[in-house]
Structure 1
Amino acid sequence: MRYKLVAFDMDGTLILEESCWGMIHQRFGTRTDALRNLMAYESGQIDYKEFMRRDIALWRPVPTIEDIKKILSNYTLAPNVKMVVEEIIRRGFQTAIITGGLDVLASNVARELGIPHVIANGLEVDESGYLAGEGILRVEPRQKDRNLVRLAEDLGVSLEECVAVGDGKYDVNFLKKAGLAVAVGNNPELVRVADVVIESFDHFPRLLDYLG
């Protein structure tokens, strides 16, 4: 096969929810303050580690990790994505999720879809299971390409044999690094660097044709 690994973004790609962080802020009523944090991150005033720290500090009273899991359990898979991933796996491709979202959600999505490799950020907890106020940074959202490089090396796959699938502006470098760049939706920044653009996974036959 020309390609061997298909790596997916999660938020807005595999699931309909645009941000798992946003799901939590919705629950705590902290979306306005969270937007200020996001603007500070996007403008370069703070790094992503500090962004996570500030976001977590908004959630009061301090939740347990089980509280967070419960909030994030109410996600919705993108239409037809389960069928698409199952077919990709059936054809012998390796699959992965690389996301700036949280591992407590990514692991559930991966389990439901049968995806074995998951790289996502985490939340530090204390001995009682309450959030300790720090994030565990594994994926800088704008640098998912670095995670793809490491995963490809671990799996013995060249970057030319990788397919990256994403939906938003944070996925630009991720898609540019792969041998085949697939944009889901019509984000203009992503469309400019994509080899293939699909409106949704409803158009999965077209995507599978490109995979070969």
Structure 2
Amino acid sequence: MSAIEFAPGLFTRGITPPLALADFKLVAFDMDSTLIDIECVDEIAAAAGRKAEVAAITEAAMRGEIADYKDSLRRRVALLAGVSEQALHEVYAQRLRLNPGVEAFVLACRAAGLKTLLVSGGFTFFSDRVRQRLQLDFARSNVLEISDGRLTGRMVDRPWGDIVDGAEKRRVLLEVCELMGISPDQAIAVGDGANDLPMMGAAGLSIAYHAKPAVREQAMLSIEQGGMDRALEVLR
């Protein structure tokens, strides 16, 4: 199904705007390059002098050119071994910014009664802070292993598994829907990379935000110019 340009830089597919935001009960967000304007793993790699190497793997993974997301993340995290914990604080303080329109869109969702979920293939060091800053209800992401103040190049196993990949993002979305007693059709999923497609495909409304081509081509709403609050031109 081809996309229709609803407004300049705003494309819809398979939906008839406007939609009622209050008809939805949950909104799930990717973090890196969606809620925030960086890929955290790439910025941490800069402290190790390996940003170009890590960023190339990240770009390929987000475009869907690497089939095994877990393996791609393990490879990138392994290259971070020896980076100081202080570098994480510096990335957060100096490099991480919320994307335009994110705060306005999250506020509008909360005002309409939606619960908010952050589900990220990134790291809790950043997602915990972003969750608190935006007052999100739920979050799941990966934990970097730190020993003696330095990254070990590994991630910590969690009770639910080892790494948040596309399948885990979808599973978390469906689990939260079940806990809330709602249908996945009442959920919105917002992302930009190939690992977001499984959860976007499970949700009643999928929103691509300045996304990779494969994601733009499958999303029901694609924001290609402007901030995330442009979704409110479709969701009233």
Which TM-score bucket, shorter chain as reference? Answer: 0.7 to 0.9
The two structures have a TM-score, normalised by structure 2, of 0.75
* Residue matched to 1:22: 42
Q: Which string of whole-angstrom CA distances, capped at 9 and with x for unpartnered residues, describes residues 135-163 of structure 1?
A: 13341146521221222223333211110
Residue 84 to residue 200, structure 1, CA distance change in 2 (3 Å):
farther
* Residue matched to 1:162: 187
Q: Which string of whole-angstrom CA distances, capped at 9 and with x for unpartnered residues, describes residues 167-208 of structure 1?
A: 22222222111011111125321122211122255362x523
Contact 1:88 1:208 in 2 (8 A): no
Higher RCO (CA 8 Å, separation ≥ 6 residues):
2
Alignment of 1:55-74 (within 5 A): 55-59=76-80, 62-73=82-93, 74=95
Deviation at 1:31, TM superposition (A): 2.7
Distance in structure 2 (CA, Å) of the matches to 1:139 and 1:160? 22
Among 139, 152, 165, which residue is 2:164 paired with?
139
Q: Which string of whole-angstrom CA distances, capped at 9 and with x for unpartnered residues, describes residues 7-54 of structure 1?
A: 11111111111x11111112221134435755699545x661x44443
* Residue matched to 2:11: none
The structure that is helix-richer by fraction is 1
Give the superposed CA RMSD: 2.7
Distance in structure 2 (CA, Å) of the matches to 1:72 and 1:42? 28
Residue 25 to residue 192, structure 1, CA distance change in 2 (3 Å):
same
Contact 1:184 1:199 in 2 (8 A): yes
Aligned-residue identity in percent: 29
Gaps of 5+ in 2: 1-21, 157-161
Gaps of 5+ in 1: none
Deviation at 1:87, TM superposition (A): 1.8
Residue 138 to residue 186, structure 1, CA distance change in 2 (3 Å):
closer
